[in-house]
Amino acid sequence: MYPAYRKKNNKVNTFTERKQCCFEFSMNGKAPSSDSHVMKALGTYAYWLATKAPVGENLPGRLYPVIPAPEKGFDLAKGKQIYVEQCSICHGVEGQGQKSLGAFVFPPLWGWGSYNWGAGMHRINTAAGFIKQNMPLGKGGSLTDDEAWHVAAYINSHERPQDPRLVDGSIEKTRKKYHEGDGVNLYGETVNGVMLGQGINQPD
Ligand code: HEC
């Protein structure tokens, strides 16, 4: 599907640029340069995966299903209950994930180590689609649409690393430029008396 236009950065992205975004937003890291071994290896692997695939056509499994929002809006208390009962065993009560031999085996869903405020997953609608299709791991499709929204909203009502596109150090300006109209999200919104979007610094 690449090169392709992306609304996120308002330009045509090469496949390499698209992957670099994953490093910066989904993984909250630093993207390897386009001529690095890592980028070449990932590109080569993708090229092999695409053997005989049609060009420019959506293949099954691409993108997440669009889940209609609950009629009365999402409910953070219901989301918390679902999270505690069905998700915390793997992702941790504090959303911190779980490591084995120093590497994450279950990803953190908020806090340091999680995807950042610029990741697509910070949109509640996007997370609801992913969760409905894939979570709890091995039981995809078991949550109702409303449950997927409630638990997605609960996860995304927690603090996480800052949006790397932060404008002039201002949550307000960043919200205006990148988050308003970008699906349903809580960046710059006040939840339980605390303004979200302040970001989290790497612990010492
Ligand atoms: C049995 C363990 C397990 C359970 C239970 C589980 N998950 Fe997961 N979850 C995982 C694993 C493993 C991944 C990483 C999957 C991957 O990378 O393909 C993941 C990934 C995720 C992600 C994506 C994180 C990211 O950084 O992109 C979200 C969001 C998520 N899970 C939400 C949930 C929710 C909500 C529930 C409860 C309804 C849940 N999970 C239950 C194991 C679990």
Q: How confident is the model at residue 9 (pLDDT cuts 50, 70, 90)?
A: confident
Q: Would you say the CB of residue 106 lies under 6 angstroms from ligand 1?
A: yes
Q: How confident is the model at residue 2 (pLDDT cuts 50, 70, 90)?
A: very high
- Between 56-65, 139-148, 188-197, the lowest mean confidence (pLDDT) is in 56-65
* Spatial separation of the C-alpha atoms in residues 109 and 156, rounded to whole Å: 8
* Spatial separation of the C-alpha atoms in residues 109 and 151, rounded to whole Å: 11
Q: How much is the pLDDT for 163?
A: 97
Residue whose C-alpha is closest to residue 3's, from 13, 11, 45 = 13
Distance 173 CA to ligand 1 centre (A): 31
Q: Would you say the CB of residue 195 lies under 6 angstroms from ligand 1?
A: no
pLDDT digits (tens, 9 = 90+) for 11-20: 999 999 999 9
* Spatial separation of the C-alpha atoms in residues 19 and 30, rounded to whole Å: 11
- The answer on pLDDT for 202 being more than 90 is no
Q: How much is the pLDDT for 102?
A: 93
Q: How much is the pLDDT for 8?
A: 82
* Spatial separation of the C-alpha atoms in residues 180 and 156, rounded to whole Å: 16
With vertex at residue 136, the alpha carbon angle to CA 115 and CA 79, rounded to the nearest 5 degrees, is 70
- The answer on pLDDT for 203 being more than 90 is no
Q: Would you say the CB of residue 19 lies under 6 angstroms from ligand 1?
A: no
pLDDT digits (tens, 9 = 90+) for 99-111: 999 999 999 999 9
Distance 99 CA to ligand 1 centre (A): 14
Given ligand 1 and candidates 80, 84, 135, 151, which is best to mutate, with the most ligand atoms within 8 Å of its CB? Answer: 135
Q: How confident is the model at residue 179 (pLDDT cuts 50, 70, 90)?
A: very high
* Spatial separation of the C-alpha atoms in residues 54 and 84, rounded to whole Å: 42
Given ligand 1 and candidates 80, 82, 91, which is best to mutate, with the most ligand atoms within 8 Å of its CB? Answer: 91
Ligand 1 atom at minimum distance from 147 CA? 38
* Spatial separation of the C-alpha atoms in residues 133 and 131, rounded to whole Å: 5
pLDDT digits (tens, 9 = 90+) for 28-85: 999 999 999 999 999 999 999 999 999 989 888 888 899 999 999 999 999 999 999 9
- The answer on pLDDT for 201 being more than 90 is no
- The answer on pLDDT for 132 being more than 90 is yes
Given ligand 1 and candidates 26, 87, 100, 143, which is best to mutate, with the most ligand atoms within 8 Å of its CB? Answer: 87
Residue the block writes with tokens 């791991």: 137
- The answer on pLDDT for 131 being more than 90 is yes
* Spatial separation of the C-alpha atoms in residues 35 and 177, rounded to whole Å: 31
* Spatial separation of the C-alpha atoms in residues 127 and 125, rounded to whole Å: 6
Q: Residue 196 CA to chain centroid, in angstroms?
A: 16
How many Cα atoms within 13 Å fall on the side-chain side of residue 119?
Answer: 23
Q: What are phi and psi of 186, to 5 degrees?
A: -110, 10
Name the token pair of 133: 């299709």
Average pLDDT value over all residues in the chain: 95
Q: State which amino acid sits at residue 51.
A: T
Q: Would you say the CB of residue 119 lies under 6 angstroms from ligand 1?
A: no
Ligand 1 atom at minimum distance from 119 CA? 27
